[in-house]
Homo-oligomer: A and B are copies of this chain.
């Protein structure tokens, strides 16, 4: 089973890295961009012995306690 964790900065937190990418893309001539935000993305290989609810619980626990800084970041998970 595979799980995907997407971590991004909360909307209320400034993202200077995203701003820099946005500025660079504009200078390079890419049009139609109103903003860029960067986040992190983790791909977890899970043991096949886990059931889907168990896997979701485990991945949520890992994401909220290890992969994310809850003060400034939020996450989404997808298990398949």
Residues of chain A at the chain B interface (Cβ within 8 Å): 6-8, 18, 21, 24-25, 28, 30-47, 49-50, 54-55, 58, 61-62, 66-67
Contact = CB atoms under 8 A, between A and B. Distances in A.
B30 A58 contact: yes
Contacts of A33: 44-47, 62
13 contacts: A8-B41, A8-B43, A18-B42, A30-B62, A32-B46, A32-B58, A33-B47, A34-B45, A36-B45, A39-B41, A39-B42, A40-B41, A41-B41
A6 B46 CA distance: 20
A37 B42 CA distance: 6
Contacts of A38: 40-43
A18 B44 CA distance: 9
